[in-house]
Structure 1
Amino acid sequence: MSSTPSRFDRGHTDDLMTFLTASPSPYHAVASVAERLEKAGFRQVLETDAWDGTSGGKYVLRGGAVIAWYVPEGADPHTPFRIVGAHTDSPNLRVKPLPDTGAQGWRQVAVEIYGGPLLNSWLDRDLGIAGRLSLRDGSTRLVNVDRALLRVPQLAIHMDRSIYEKGLQLDKQKHMQPIWGLGDVREGDLIRFLEEESGLPAGSATGWDLMTHSVEPPAYLGRDRELLAGPRMDNLLSVHAGTAALTAVAATDGLPYIPVLAAFDHEENGSQSDTGADGPLLGSVLERSVYARGGSHEDKARAFAGTVCLSSDTGHAVHPNYAERHDPTHLPRANGGPILKVNVNNRYATDGSGRAVFAAACERAAVPFQSFVSNNSMPCGTTIGPITAARHGIRTVDIGVAILSMHSARELCGADDPFLLANALSAFLAG
């Protein structure tokens, strides 16, 4: 805990640190969310089962995605939804189908680059490995080796002094394969090791979705510990805040909306999957919720027309060493509250009416907020926001928390901002 008093309760940020550590992969993240939902009285429903229209909290898990919602007592079939959207995946190094490789007496793991990581941030860092194993009986098993297992070693400066003139040049294929031992390459060695770590018989796993993660835990940073350094804050910070907000408003009397958390996978590579925001999962869940309460296609159309989604993802805090890369009049600062993200070319989905919705939620929660617009000379990133708006016809607003070192193996934010975001999301979901 911080030795210097904060304006806000740090309990939420402490819990975020626990969540980040427990969630080294999207599959672990949704398992962490499900555990918290169960403690709040939610129950899992299977997509293959018939759904009923009873009130209460429910959730669906599919791969690295989770959709959770709370139906208040007396909700009509056409009751609109209030959605917090986020994503569970982060840029990293992912294990290839034939993982065992090596050279010159070093045993290595063959990896593929996922998303757009800052590659240099993965060098000379102790890495673990996590994900899921798919077994012969059709089940899956989560695996997490959360200790120093892998390392991508950087070339010594003595062997490449051109770095001083040209900067670090990394080839994604040649330079990013981590080492994990010495000796001859043995086919099937990594998977046998992970089966053993998971208490499985050899040969049990016939498929895998595995990735590396930094084993350094999250930590408060700075003289006054007013900053938070940690992995995967893009975008598990929003997933955690959305979960906290949904469980906080669940069972509130007189909710005018059905609050929803939609945490998708694969945002970092385009969202086009059955668990991504560009897939059918959210629309299917919302539609089935309407129909389970006796609704018709007309009721669904009415519900969607009144629905609003806050697409919550991290954004860019003003960088003290590169301030010229930012718009000079929009300079979000750490611990200044959540940011409203705007781009008139629809890289973000926010418009004026959406801004009003978010401003009202922040006002109710007594939370300050900031605005982010890209420098006109710099390309703008994007989020699940425009995808959600276009695919479902749902009014969507892009927001988030301002951070530094986005897409690094270890990112940085203000230690109060996660708490402020969660409060704003709670006010939004409560309506």
Structure 2
Amino acid sequence: MSAPSRFDRGHTDDLMTFLAASPSPYHAVANAAERLEKVGFRQVAETDAWDGTTGGRYVLRGGAIVAWHVPEGAQPHTPFRIVGAHTDSPNLRVKPRPDTGAHGWRQVAVEIYGGPLLNSWLDRDLGLAGRLTLRDGSTRLVNVDRPLLRVPQLAIHLDRSVSAEGLKLDKQRHLQPIWGLGGDVRDGDLIAFLEEEAGIGAGEVTGWDLMTHSVEPPAHLGRDGELVAGPRMDNLLSVHSGVAALAALAGGGDLPYIPVLAAFDHEENGSQSDTGADGPLLGSVLERSVFARGGSYEDRARAFAGTVCLSSDTGHAVHPNYAERHDPTHHPRVNGGPILKVNVNNRYATDGSGRALFAAACEKADVPFQTFVSNNSMPCGTTIGPITAARHGITTVDIGVAILSMHSARELCGADDPHLLANALVAFLAG
């Protein structure tokens, strides 16, 4: 096949567009699907029979997408090359009875999703987005992308200890956003407002999955614009690069592997759902692809044995104000290229063979890479990598991009790292 065009900072600018247009996992997968359809992918329903013809396909399930491209000459036992990522980010999510308030303020009842930096959600203009389910079972995306909500911080005059002792937030009492004034709090007000916003008839919405988001758009930052600040980089940065890499290979003919993008929901709270990495979605799609091409269980076993997954998620860049929190010999820097994530206790799935595989892909793409290891005195986070390896028995390597302010409402990365990651992913998927 001809070599795909290399990504540059234009890719990073496009990432900023993708972040702004994807305030929820449901919007993220809809935008990913739209981009893939432009290069010939088509959606297949899980309830339909699948054929084994060549070309691009994708499955949508809630806030997850699995997309793959069967190249010319693919056999039932042809292995897969997978880029794994996740679509969800820590935030504040609307409760089943959202209408609340006190002392003349109208508020929205929210629950904490994942592990957000709670202080980053204070005094920030917030919108509301997500998925509405109607009486007939259909769903509709909604996005109020303007200042609607705000979690006001207590004035320092009423909390003199905050400067010396730090901010202390009660998750139940202190994080309920305000969205207006009024003495009477009526059940159904918020959903009625969203029905009107989405152009849905009154009383048609019977279910919802809604979440807050910062309405401040992504922006270049720094003297030379060498940084990017924006929301949900963990982990839509990887989703965006994975979509771009898969799309770049869609026109190719003779590939030795079947390239796949698997972007899951619910990573931030354990991945145990029908759309999470610990669910059956990926395995079901890969198996059905084998069987649709006339394969047997033996072909499925051969394909899985030769399959490799790059679990791509953001990691920690060395922080200039807290360098002692990092391992003293591993200081990943922004714009230094993607990071290889290693933990011998298997919080990351990378081993020595995986390192060699990723190093080869980066060398092929002419992309530098770095290594991340946690400080021995600090607990290590985890990813979908170990889950994917254990659940499906496939070789998995954990990688990503180094950022600051992980799990903040607004995170920070280098302007070069997203396109460096995308170039490395193309080389990996192409084999």
**TM superposition score category, shorter chain reference:** over 0.9
- Equivalent residues in 2 for 1:87-102, closer than 5 Å: 87-102=86-101
Counterparts in 2 of 1:142 and 1:411: CA distance versus 1, 3 Å:
same
Partner of 2:199: helix, strand, or coil? Answer: coil
Greater CA drift, 190-199 or 161-170: 161-170
CA-CA distance at 1:9 after TM superposition: 2.8
Matching of residue 195 in structure 1 with residue 195 in structure 2: yes
Residue in structure 1 matched with residue 253 of structure 2 by the alignment: 253
Residue in structure 1 matched with residue 45 of structure 2 by the alignment: 46
**CA deviation string 1:132-151 (max 9, x = no partner):** 10000110000000000000
Counterparts in 2 of 1:18 and 1:228: CA distance versus 1, 3 Å:
same
Distance (Å, rounded) in 2 between the aligned partners of 1:406 and 1:210: 22
Distance (Å, rounded) in 2 between the aligned partners of 1:157 and 1:138: 48
Q: Is contact 2:7-2:422 (8 Å) kept?
A: no
Distance (Å, rounded) in 2 between the aligned partners of 1:182 and 1:40: 48
Residue in structure 1 matched with residue 108 of structure 2 by the alignment: 109
Partner of 1:378: helix, strand, or coil? Answer: coil
**CA deviation string 1:181-223 (max 9, x = no partner):** 0002111000000000000111010000000000000000011
Residue in structure 2 matched with residue 217 of structure 1 by the alignment: 217
Partner of 1:191: helix, strand, or coil? Answer: helix
Matching of residue 143 in structure 1 with residue 142 in structure 2: yes
Counterpart AA for 1:405: S
Distance (Å, rounded) in 2 between the aligned partners of 1:101 and 1:263: 34
Residue in structure 2 matched with residue 227 of structure 1 by the alignment: 227
Residue in structure 2 matched with residue 18 of structure 1 by the alignment: 17
Residue in structure 1 matched with residue 81 of structure 2 by the alignment: 82
Distance (Å, rounded) in 1 between the aligned partners of 2:267 and 2:221: 28
**CA deviation string 1:208-254 (max 9, x = no partner):** 00000000000000111100000000000000000000000123122
Distance (Å, rounded) in 2 between the aligned partners of 1:200 and 1:243: 31
Counterpart AA for 1:336: G
- Equivalent residues in 2 for 1:146-185, closer than 5 Å: 146-183=145-182, 184-185=184-185
CA-CA distance at 1:8 after TM superposition: 7.8
Q: Is contact 2:52-2:294 (8 Å) kept?
A: yes
Matching of residue 284 in structure 1 with residue 284 in structure 2: yes
Residue in structure 2 matched with residue 363 of structure 1 by the alignment: 363
**CA deviation string 1:251-271 (max 9, x = no partner):** 312200000000000000000
Identity level (%):
87
Residue in structure 2 matched with residue 308 of structure 1 by the alignment: 308
Residue in structure 2 matched with residue 3 of structure 1 by the alignment: none
Partner of 2:83: helix, strand, or coil? Answer: strand
**CA deviation string 1:88-132 (max 9, x = no partner):** 000000000000000000000000000000000000000000001
Counterpart AA for 1:332: P
Q: Which runs of 5+ in 2 are unaligned?
A: 1-5
Distance (Å, rounded) in 1 between the aligned partners of 2:30 and 2:119: 30
Residue in structure 2 matched with residue 69 of structure 1 by the alignment: 68
Distance (Å, rounded) in 1 between the aligned partners of 2:229 and 2:264: 24
Distance (Å, rounded) in 2 between the aligned partners of 1:344 and 1:409: 31
CA-CA distance at 1:428 after TM superposition: 0.2
Distance (Å, rounded) in 1 between the aligned partners of 2:266 and 2:285: 18
**CA deviation string 1:377-396 (max 9, x = no partner):** 00000000000000000000
Q: Is contact 1:308-1:396 (8 Å) kept?
A: yes
Residue in structure 1 matched with residue 126 of structure 2 by the alignment: 127
Distance (Å, rounded) in 2 between the aligned partners of 1:311 and 1:8: 20
Runs of 4+ in 1 over 4 A off after TM superposition: none
Distance (Å, rounded) in 1 between the aligned partners of 2:253 and 2:51: 21
Counterpart AA for 1:27: Y
Counterpart AA for 2:340: L
Distance (Å, rounded) in 2 between the aligned partners of 1:236 and 1:229: 13
Residue in structure 1 matched with residue 265 of structure 2 by the alignment: 265
Partner of 1:284: helix, strand, or coil? Answer: helix
- Equivalent residues in 2 for 1:409-424, closer than 5 Å: 409-424=409-424
Counterparts in 2 of 1:161 and 1:174: CA distance versus 1, 3 Å:
same
Counterpart AA for 2:21: A
Distance (Å, rounded) in 1 between the aligned partners of 2:51 and 2:331: 48
CA-CA distance at 1:164 after TM superposition: 2.2
Residue in structure 2 matched with residue 295 of structure 1 by the alignment: 295
Counterpart AA for 1:243: V
CA-CA distance at 1:310 after TM superposition: 0.1
Distance (Å, rounded) in 2 between the aligned partners of 1:253 and 1:101: 57
Matching of residue 322 in structure 1 with residue 322 in structure 2: yes
**CA deviation string 1:320-376 (max 9, x = no partner):** 000000000000000000000000000000000111110000000000000000000
Distance (Å, rounded) in 2 between the aligned partners of 1:370 and 1:252: 30
Partner of 2:14: helix, strand, or coil? Answer: helix
Partner of 2:229: helix, strand, or coil? Answer: strand
- What do you get for the CA RMSD once the two structures are aligned? 0.8
Number of residue-to-residue matches in the alignment: 425
Residue in structure 1 matched with residue 3 of structure 2 by the alignment: none
Counterpart AA for 1:378: M
Distance (Å, rounded) in 2 between the aligned partners of 1:8 and 1:258: 21
Q: Is contact 1:229-1:413 (8 Å) kept?
A: yes
Distance (Å, rounded) in 2 between the aligned partners of 1:118 and 1:418: 23
Q: Is contact 1:8-1:416 (8 Å) kept?
A: no
Q: Is contact 2:218-2:230 (8 Å) kept?
A: yes
Q: Is contact 1:130-1:210 (8 Å) kept?
A: yes
Distance (Å, rounded) in 2 between the aligned partners of 1:145 and 1:260: 32
Partner of 1:121: helix, strand, or coil? Answer: helix
Distance (Å, rounded) in 2 between the aligned partners of 1:241 and 1:8: 10
CA-CA distance at 1:166 after TM superposition: 1.3
Counterpart AA for 1:248: A
Partner of 1:278: helix, strand, or coil? Answer: coil
Give me the TM-score of the superposition, normalised by structure 2. Answer: 0.98
